[in-house]
Amino acid sequence: MSVNAIKNLMEADANDLFDSSSLVFAAKSNILVISYFAEIIKNIEKQVMSQVKLRKEFQPLLTITGIGNILELTIMLEVGDIKRFPKVGNYSSYCRCVKSERLSNGKKKDENNRKNGNKYLSWAYVEAAHFTVRFCPRAQRFYQQDVIGTCCTHIRYAALGGSHFSS
């Protein structure tokens, strides 16, 4: 059962899903908790959207698959003035989207501080990659093809974070 199908379950649906009364009770309890938190999240988002408006220079974020209203506002608020980054590489580094190692003659000599930058921006772009994989068929194909050859999930999501997929 998909996540969306679970989110759309009603309390009465639990009776049809399980034979055991204990499992029906547990399912009904979980359905109520999901509904409760969904309502709270909706109210929080409504409150945030009423108080924070997206600045013009961040409007292109909405064209990126996986980035919605709340995630774009998070990115905008964490970045501040985008003009403070003279080059794309500076911004990428601040978002913790690039490796922090020093190479000499192709050999790793040192690793800079990986904790530099903004952990919330790093999280926001990984979250966008997760949403992209869930809802964009082209990204799902890329992810599935790459799963066969690689065992590192974070590398696949990092690759998606650097790509622009459209549905």
Per-residue pLDDT reduced to its tens digit, 80-113: 998 999 998 888 888 887 776 666 676 666 566 5
As a whole number of Å, the CA-based R_g of the chain is 21
pLDDT in tens, 125-166: 889 988 888 888 888 888 777 665 554 555 555 555 555 444
What pLDDT score does 156 carry?
Answer: 54
Give me the number of domains the chain comprises.
Answer: 1
Mean pLDDT throughout 24-30? 94
Residues above pLDDT 90, as percent of the chain = 37
CA angle 9, 10, 15 (to 5 degrees): 95
Instruction: Identify the residue with better confidence: 8 or 105.
Output: 8
The answer as to whether 18 is a domain residue is: yes
The answer as to whether 149 is a domain residue is: no
User: Can you give the residue range of the structural domain that contains 9?
Assistant: 1-51
The answer as to whether 16 is a domain residue is: yes
Q: How many C-beta atoms lie closer than 10 Å to residue 26's C-beta?
A: 13
**What's this model's pTM, rounded to 2 decimal places?**
0.70
Query: Taking a C-beta distance cutoff of 8 angstroms, is the pair 160, 133 a contact?
Result: yes
